[in-house]
Amino acid sequence: MSDSHEAGQASRYRSLFISDMHLGTKGAQAEALLEFLKKHDAETLYLVGDVIDGWRLRSAWYWPQSHNDVVQKLLRKVRKGARIVYVPGNHDEFLREFCGLSFGGIEIAETAIHEAADGRRYLVIHGDIFDMVIRHAKWLAFLGDWAYEIALALSTRINIVRRRLGFTYWSLSAWAKARVKNAVNFIGRFEETLAAEARRHGVDGVICGHIHSAAMRDFDGFTYINTGDWVESCTAVVEHHDGRMEIVHWPAFSDVLNGSRPPAPRTLPWRRAA
């Protein structure tokens, strides 16, 4: 598909927020992400952390062509005039040493303040600094990362059988997060803490990633938005030209597993109330 054809077909937004791509791991849905980036353009694109998985790359190098294609696509968007701001997370924390610099036109920043078209201001931050496991027991975070990789591997094998039986994709790790009480409680506390951080910064809301759970909620007038991920759910957040924020879901998994391209995106009914 040519670049001119991509530009003609792409949906255009004021801003686009993506996180937790985990390029460098076998779980990264790079093909689906590349399709998404071809069909979605924005004036400003925020990469909200864990774009590159430095943890995994340190232990075993994995970088197929599809992962390189995603990076090249992002650089191409910069060359065409888009502004890209990269806010590192815990898996790509090595980039925090370069905050304030830019590479290939991509700006590296510890955090960012985004002002939407409707005047609302959002703190853009990955969110890992509010994860007590990351801050105080990093060895446990590495252990959890290892367990997460096992869950993804099991999901792949389970879904091979499900596909043969005619069923759609099912995520073991997403199922566990939704039903294990401690995981549900952790997500709830994380959301409340990030909303409180927005209040501390004097902004109207926060846009983050880290926990791979897309959401949009209000906490006492402060908006919490999580972009989700590109491992389990394939979600992103878009800002329309009127300032309205919306979570967009790219239905990738069943199509990737079946070897076909994903269809046009659909939106989830999570959005800020007017």
What digits encode the pLDDT tens for the residues 62-114?
999 999 999 999 999 999 999 999 999 999 999 999 999 999 999 999 999 99
- Looking at residue 178, its pLDDT comes to 55
The count of domains in the chain is 1
Nearest to 83 by CA among 6, 31, 14: 14
Nearest to 122 by CA among 87, 77, 97: 87
Sheet containing 102-103, strands listed edge to edge, beginning at the edge strand earlier in sequence: 102-103, 106-108, 83-86, 40-47, 11-18, 235-239, 245-249, 266-271
Sheet containing 205-208, strands listed edge to edge, beginning at the edge strand earlier in sequence: 112-115, 121-124, 205-208, 222-226, 215-219
Model confidence at 262: pLDDT above 50: no
* 149 vs 27, more confident: 27
- Please give the residue range of the domain that contains residue 265: 3-271
- Looking at residue 55, its pLDDT comes to 84
Model confidence at 273: pLDDT above 70: no
- Please tell me the pTM assigned to this model: 0.74
Specify the CATH number for the domain of residue 60. 3.60.21.10
- Looking at residue 79, its pLDDT comes to 96
Model confidence at 3: pLDDT above 50: no
Confidence of residue 29 (pLDDT cuts 50, 70, 90): very high
Confidence of residue 122 (pLDDT cuts 50, 70, 90): very high
- Looking at residue 37, its pLDDT comes to 96
Structure tokens at 83: 């502004």
